[in-house]
Amino acid sequence: MSTTFPLVVTPNFLDFARVNNTPLLVYQPAEVSHRYQLLKTALPYVHHHFAIKSLPIAPVITTIRDLGGYFDIATNGEIDLLRQAKVAPDHCIHTHPIKRLQDINYALAYGVNHFVVENAAEIGKFQGLGDQVVLILRVAFENNLAACNLSAKFGCAQEDCRSLIQLAQSLGLTVGGISFHVGSQMPSSKVHQQAIDWANELYLELEEEGICFSLLDIGGGFPARYTSQDIALATFLAEIKLSLDRFHSNFPDCQILSEPGRCLAAPALTLITQIVGKKYKNGQHWYYIDDGVYGSFSGHIYDHRQDTVAPLVESDKPLYSSVVAGPTCDSIDIIDAQAMLPEMEIGDYLITHNIGAYSMASASDFNFVPRANLVTFGG
């Protein structure tokens, strides 16, 4: 297994655009390997389970598998992706808090045995499987800093932890530890640190009561760097390591897991689009491009995100306030109502960096507009 950081070489995106049909998503494995290695180096005693939902494509699975990596799965389709890539099931955890019995059986048949639960009914679904499964109890950690709140829908109240652990034990089930997801795209490490410190106290109290856990899952939320205002991943990791070191020194035999999605997926893809129509209206240039919010820009709808577009070929011409709109017939399909662009022509290319997370994953075929083509740059 390689421990060196791969060199990230910038491709010539114009060459890609000229020889492939747009819209075009360029996958750069080196961007993923670089950050996965960074996670491993910054937090060496943590198993980082890539959250497949953020970018569920085979090449990413292969990249992380080849680094000896781990995976967070939520659905049977994600299991199928892992099976095709021959990922060892003991490198996987199932983190969907609500599963049908057939989903549990599907994961068990693949060999996955760690499952997240967060309520009594879900724990009940595992009755009789005591010797086959390890449960992870997801706890809610509300905060208003995250770009996407992941504690509104899932996670038990902190004060309910003990009763749920007791319920599981009364059914002969093993609770391996707790998990949380403090929210996606965190602007600082503060809430992660609070959550880890809270878990540290809880585990110390439970140890006194005779309950010893074998794992702690700190979830995802590690930020991507969409703009220079976003905290750098290395800084973020160095800060949460302070709390993790305290936990690790108290519980050296406890395996710590994480579930990063966005920080690996976002830089993995770059989108190239082409202008297919233009007009001038109410003092603004309008450009219609071949991808939109029903496609690769779906993060605008589902991920509370505003991606930016820039000319692929840099120019020093004057910039004008412009509207960039997608190809469907819906007025919601506007990517940027105030893009500052030079005057562009039909056939010109636009580029969007850092679009890998929760974009392609939630793209649709609305209006039968074809989804973007995917090509890989480099090994």
Told to check if 259 binds ligand PLP by CB under 6 A, we report yes
For the chain, the distance separating the N- and C-terminal CA atoms, rounded to the nearest angstrom, is 15
- Start-end of H helices in 225-294: 233-250, 262-265
Told to check if 112 binds ligand PLP by CB under 6 A, we report no
Q: Which residue, 54 or 113, has its beta carbon nearer to ligand PLP?
A: 54
Told to check if 71 binds ligand PLP by CB under 6 A, we report no
Q: Which residues of 150-160 are buried (b: 16+ CB within 10 A; e: fewer)?
A: bbeebbbebeb
Q: Which residue, 299 or 327, has its beta carbon nearer to ligand PLP?
A: 299
Say what the alpha-carbon torsion angle 166, 168, 174, 175 is, to the nearest 10 degrees.
Answer: -70
Site for ligand PLP in 178-197 (CB under 6 A): 181, 184
Site for ligand PLP in 75-104 (CB under 6 A): 95
Q: How far is the CB of 364 from ligand PLP (least distance, A)?
A: 18
Told to check if 289 binds ligand PLP by CB under 6 A, we report no
The CA angle 118-54-364, to the nearest 5 degrees, is 110
Q: For ligand PLP, which stretch binds (CB under 6 A), given 62-70, 216-224, 314-322, 330-338?
A: 216-224
Told to check if 221 binds ligand PLP by CB under 6 A, we report yes
Told to check if 51 binds ligand PLP by CB under 6 A, we report yes
Residue 270's Cβ-side half-sphere holds a number of Cα atoms within 13 Å equal to 21
Q: How far is the CB of 50 from ligand PLP (least distance, A)?
A: 9
In the complex, which residue's CB is closest to ligand PLP?
Answer: 220
The CA distance from 310 to 101, in Å, is 47
Q: Are 284 and 292 in contact (CB under 8 A)?
A: no
Site for ligand PLP in 8-27 (CB under 6 A): none
CA 32 to chain centre: 12
Q: Is the peptide bond before 23 cis (omega within 30 degrees of 0)?
A: yes
Told to check if 73 binds ligand PLP by CB under 6 A, we report no
Q: For ligand PLP, which stretch binds (CB under 6 A), given 36-44, 47-55, 158-166, 335-343?
A: 47-55
Q: Which residue, 70 or 349, has its beta carbon nearer to ligand PLP?
A: 70
**How many residues lie near ligand PLP (CB under 6 A)?**
16
Q: For ligand PLP, which stretch binds (CB under 6 A), given 19-27, 194-202, 254-262, 273-281?
A: 254-262
The one among 26, 43, 81, 150 contacting ligand PLP by CB under 6 A: 150
The CA distance from 125 to 138, in Å, is 16
Q: How far is the CB of 259 from ligand PLP (least distance, A)?
A: 4
Active site residue 92: no
Say what the alpha-carbon torsion angle 10, 4, 43, 144 is, to the nearest 10 degrees.
Answer: 0
Supply the DSSP symbol for 117.
E
The CA angle 151-100-104, to the nearest 5 degrees, is 95
- Residues making contact with ligand PLP (CB under 6 A): 51, 53-54, 72, 95, 150, 181, 184, 219-222, 259-262
Known catalytic residues are: 329
